[in-house]
Amino acid sequence: MKPRVLFLLIAGIFHQQVYAGDSILHRVAIDGSKSSQLGLLDAANAGMVGRKKLENLTTYRPGELLEAIPGLIVSQHSGEGKANQFYLRGFNLDHGTDLRTTVDEMPVNQRSHSHGQGWTDLNFLIPELTARMDYKKGPYSSTTGDFSAAGSAAMTYANRLSQSITSVTLGQNAYRRALIAGSPDALDGSFLYAIETTSNDGPFVHPDNFKKLNAVFRYSEGFANNGFNMSAMLYRGKWNSTDQIPLRAVQQAQLDRFDTVDSSDGGESHRYSLSGVWRNTTSEEASKLSAYVIQSGLDLYSNFTYFMDDPVNGDQFSQPDKRVTSGMNASHTWHSHINGKNTDITIGAQLQNDNIFNGLHKTKARQQLSTVRQDHIVETSLAMYLDVSTRWTESLRSNLGVRHDQYRFQVNSDRLENSGKANDQMTSPVASLILGPWAKTEFYLNAGRGFHSNDARATLTTVDPQSLEATQKSPGLVAARGLELGMRSEWIPGLQSSLAVYRLDFDSELSFVGDAGTTEAGRPSRRHGIELSNSYQASDWLSIDFDAAYAKARSRGVEASGNYVIGAVEGVAQLALNFEKLGAWSGALRMRYFGPRALIENNSIRSKGSATLNGRISYKFNPSLKLELEGFNLSNRRDSAIDYYYASQLKGESTPREDMHFHPLESRSFRLMLVKTF
């Protein structure tokens, strides 16, 4: 191999600018899920999940692919087409706030969304196309920006499939799925296509009747760090919702635990996108440019308090959201090799614009009764960043970075008092020091500042649209500050381990409460936590993954008797066993523990923990034909997928009652999938 080619391969791995192609680099970085990550990462909390590990996950829904990230929990409190709930590092991330998620350089989080800030709907994800996922936790990277204070996940689709795929899946609860995908040669590159249809009722008394159609088309040329791709993605989904229900109704036998109060809840959504990525790498520098335009829409109908506000018509509300999101990302890296010191200097820019039409309406059986608020929002952001990585000696590395974000908010509301323009900006420095490796062990010290943006409406609202009372404006950007100590070791043969201890402070956990159409300013908060991650290749046929995390989340500036952060996850753990090379047989078992959470500030009401056991077993009739059986909640636990505590009023009740409200974990179910490759 020529020295220049070898350097390009090593540089590609170091900078993690690899995307799926048919080069040698692709096979090393994507297929080799057990490849060493020493010397490649700047923190113990960061990592890369390869295609092999992603394939081994047994997932009930596409968003659960993110559970490949140690310490991350993905849940659901509604119908299958709605965005998932996420939990990480002592956060109830709701539908995505403080967890930045991208697919092929495109943002998934939707800012100033009608239902929740940072709305992250991953129902358009096709697992078979996901070639890798790079993740980071904490505000220690100058490249990630908005929503990444707790963590970030960057998923990359393949440019080329090693084989074409056809699969058909049948399961309980009317689950049906069909997929066809391939990547034939075309012109001077390859044309990847994938078409997926899915339907699912779930175990609910009122079936989800979830139906989705999903498609990806991509043309690509070149190799891992020298080439381009152009993609079109199309997704449509429609569903009924079984939202959380009050515990008292189940205890009094008014409702089955899989029943609903308002059977007309539900929604439909779509996401259409055009995007492209171009990369060029030489021995001295590397460039990357990506651009995208996304048109998306959501019509969502929910009822969480039933008949508390309107005893006659009920409390259902709708939250339509239609938007066009466009943007581009550009970066350039210079490789310097002076006096034995290797330095990489990267400059980058990120531009995003959201043109949004959303609102909040009172409805009955999906028929509009009145309007609470209706807004046209234009939100624009520009970020510039500098990142400098230096290898000073064989056992000392550093990473220094700084990022500056400028935001412009413009709201044209149906109330003049809540209309106008606002601006905010923030500068975020980050620094990392890496020592080692010694005995195949590295140590990390990380410090940094990050942020999340607040809803644009919160920066301009002066009159509560429901009560018509005066309310305070909120800042557009909310700062987070983190400190972390970590270690990564491969000292024991076959075992990859990482350990991280961190502290994360937020100036204020501000949020726009989409369910009420008002702004709610949270208290300053502090989180302490510890995370342990292990991956062990026990033999050529058995691999074991064990992750555990604990976080303590408290509000600052209040008495200890009432300083718990509502919904903050405390302890989580995961144990996964993967079996392969057993002749024609392979399989996996995965146990997930989701610990209890405080549901009110004084911790007197708590959720219970939950544990799920999922599994998969497959048999290969020949190299191109496989039959796979997946099982979910194998122990048939009657746990909650999510819990809340608030006041509600059922029909026939004279006054509201505070109560636990829960969405049940889906009962035991099985899916049988036949896969043909060619």
- Identify the CATH number of the domain in which residue 551 sits: 2.40.170.20
Query: Across residues 18-41, what is the average pLDDT?
Result: 52
Are 612 and 636 in contact, with CB atoms under 8 Å apart?
A: no
Our count of domains for the chain comes to 1
SS3 percent helix, strand, coil of the chain, rounded to 5, is: 10, 55, 35
Q: Is residue 610 part of a domain?
A: yes
How much is the pLDDT for 202? 96
How much is the pLDDT for 26? 35
More confident residue, 27 or 390: 390
Q: How far is CA 309 from the centre of its chain?
A: 33
Q: Residue 63 has which token pair?
A: 């968003």
Q: Is residue 22 part of a domain?
A: yes
Is the bond preceding 656 in cis, omega lying within 30 degrees of 0?
A: no
CA distance 303 to 435: 53
Residue 19 domain boundaries: 3-366+379-677
- Within 10 angstroms of residue 407's Cβ, the number of other Cβ atoms is 24
Taking 80 as the threshold, does the pLDDT of residue 31 lie above it? no
How far CA 527 is from CA of 94, 145, 148, 272, 554, in Å, comes to 17, 20, 15, 37, 6
- Cα four-point dihedral sign 561, 565, 566, 567: negative
Q: Could you tell me which residues come within 8 angstroms of residue 27 by beta carbon, excluding any fewer than 6 positions away?
A: none
- Within 10 angstroms of residue 357's Cβ, the number of other Cβ atoms is 16
How much is the pLDDT for 1? 39
How much is the pLDDT for 340? 74
Q: Is residue 73 part of a domain?
A: yes
The mean pLDDT of the chain is: 91
Q: Could you tell me which residues come within 8 angstroms of residue 454 by beta carbon, excluding any fewer than 6 positions away?
A: 117, 474, 475, 476, 477, 478, 510, 511, 512
How far CA 341 is from CA of 3, 333, 401, in Å, comes to 19, 16, 18
How much is the pLDDT for 224? 76
- Within 10 angstroms of residue 66's Cβ, the number of other Cβ atoms is 26
Q: Is residue 374 part of a domain?
A: no
Taking 90 as the threshold, does the pLDDT of residue 411 lie above it? yes
Could you report how far apart the first and last alpha carbons of the chain are, in Å? 32
Highest mean pLDDT among 56-60, 69-73, 78-82, 511-515: 69-73
Q: Is residue 372 part of a domain?
A: no
Taking 60 as the threshold, does the pLDDT of residue 9 lie above it? no
Model confidence band, residue 422 (pLDDT cutoffs 50, 70, 90): very high
Of 555-559, 569-573, 612-616, 647-651, the least confident: 555-559
Query: Across residues 230-256, what is the average pLDDT?
Result: 96
CA distance 109 to 651: 36
Q: Is residue 489 part of a domain?
A: yes
How much is the pLDDT for 17? 35
Query: Across residues 108-119, what is the average pLDDT?
Result: 94
Query: Across residues 415-436, what is the average pLDDT?
Result: 96
Q: Is residue 373 part of a domain?
A: no
- Residue whose C-alpha is closest to residue 664's, from 106, 119, 75: 75
Predicted confidence (pLDDT) per residue in 486-532, tens digit: 999 999 999 999 999 999 999 987 655 545 555 566 789 999 999 99
* Cross-strand partners of 346: 333, 387
Taking 60 as the threshold, does the pLDDT of residue 636 lie above it? yes
CA distance 66 to 429: 27
Residue whose tokens read 């290969």: 620
Of 184-198, 200-214, 268-282, 456-470, the least confident: 456-470
Q: Is residue 95 part of a domain?
A: yes
How far CA 141 is from CA of 45, 88, 641, in Å, comes to 12, 17, 32
How far CA 597 is from CA of 343, 523, 628, in Å, comes to 44, 18, 36
Q: What percent of the chain has pLDDT over 90?
A: 85
